Amino acid sequence: MAVRALWYRDGTLFLIDQRKLPGRSVVLRLRRLAPVAEAIRTLTVRGAPAIGVAAAYGMVLARAEGRLGPDAAAEVLRRTRPTAYDLFVGIETVRSAWAAGEDVEAAADAYRERVVEECHRIGTAGAPLFAKAHRVLTHCNAGALATVEWGTALAPIRVARSRGAHLFVWVDETRPLLQGARLTAWELARERIPHAVIADNAAGHYLRTGAVDAVIVGADRIARNGDFANKIGTYEKAVVAHENGVPFYVAAPWSTFDARRPTGRSIPVEERDESEVLALAGRRVAPAASHARNPAFDVTPARYVTAFVTPDGVLRPSEIARAIPRRTAA
Determine the pLDDT at residue 3: 85
The mean pLDDT of the chain is 96
- Contact between 118 and 81 under an 8 Å Cβ cutoff? The reply is no
Question: CA–CA separation, 165 vs 66, rounded Å?
Answer: 51
**Residue 137 DSSP SS3:** strand
Residues 220 and 304 in one domain: yes
Does the pLDDT of residue 330 top 50, yes or no?
A: no
Closest CA to 268 of 296, 237, 226, 245: 296
Does the pLDDT of residue 54 top 70, yes or no?
A: yes
Specify which residues 257 forms β-bridges with.
Answer: 222
Annotated catalytic residue within 86, 172, 200, 220: 220
| pLDDT classification of 8: cutoffs 50, 70, 90 | very high
Domain boundary among 86, 118, 150: 118
Determine the pLDDT at residue 233: 98
- Computed on alpha carbons and rounded to an integer, the radius of gyration of the chain in Å comes to 19
Question: CA–CA separation, 124 vs 191, rounded Å?
Answer: 18
pTM: 0.96
In this predicted model, what pLDDT tens digit does every residue of 190-218 receive, in sequence order?
A: 999 999 999 999 999 999 999 999 999 99
Q: Is residue 59 part of a domain?
A: yes
Beta strands in the chain (DSSP E): 6-9, 12-16, 27-30, 135-138, 168-172, 195-198, 214-217, 221-222, 228-231, 248-251, 279-280, 283-284, 297-300, 307-310, 313-315
Residues 37 and 18 in one domain: yes
Residues 220 and 278 in one domain: yes
Determine the pLDDT at residue 326: 61
Domain boundary among 118, 152, 179: 118
Question: CA–CA separation, 232 vs 234, rounded Å?
Answer: 6
Share of the chain above pLDDT 90, in %: 95
In this predicted model, what pLDDT tens digit does every residue of 110-120 receive, in sequence order?
A: 999 999 999 99
Does the pLDDT of residue 327 top 70, yes or no?
A: no
In this predicted model, what pLDDT tens digit does every residue of 287-308 receive, in sequence order?
A: 999 999 999 999 999 999 999 9
Does the pLDDT of residue 329 top 50, yes or no?
A: no
Determine the pLDDT at residue 89: 97
Q: Is residue 1 part of a domain?
A: no
Q: Is residue 31 part of a domain?
A: yes
Determine the pLDDT at residue 193: 96
In this predicted model, what pLDDT tens digit does every residue of 234-291 receive, in sequence order?
A: 999 999 999 999 999 999 999 999 999 999 999 999 999 999 999 988 899 999 999 9
Specify which residues 169 forms β-bridges with.
Answer: 136, 195
Closest CA to 13 of 29, 27, 26, 37: 29
Question: CA–CA separation, 285 vs 108, rounded Å?
Answer: 42
Residues 44 and 15 in one domain: yes
Q: Is residue 167 part of a domain?
A: yes
Domain limits at 74? 6-118
Q: Which long-range contacts (CB under 8 A, 24 or more apart) does 241-245 make?
A: 241/137, 241/207, 241/212, 241/215, 241/304, 242/303, 242/304, 244/207, 244/208
| pLDDT classification of 1: cutoffs 50, 70, 90 | low
DSSP string spanning 182-198?
IIIHHHHHHTT--EEEE
Q: Identify the residue with better confidence: 90 or 330.
A: 90
| pLDDT classification of 2: cutoffs 50, 70, 90 | low
Determine the pLDDT at residue 328: 53
Amino acid at 279: A
220 is catalytic: yes
| pLDDT classification of 154: cutoffs 50, 70, 90 | very high
Q: Identify the residue with better confidence: 190 or 327.
A: 190
Determine the pLDDT at residue 294: 98
In this predicted model, what pLDDT tens digit does every residue of 135-145 receive, in sequence order?
A: 999 999 999 99
Residues 79 and 152 in one domain: no
Q: How many domains does the chain have?
A: 2
Q: Is residue 221 part of a domain?
A: yes
Does the pLDDT of residue 162 top 60, yes or no?
A: yes
Domain boundary among 118, 137, 170: 118
| pLDDT classification of 320: cutoffs 50, 70, 90 | very high
Residues 88 and 130 in one domain: no
What is the CATH number for 165?
A: 3.40.50.10470
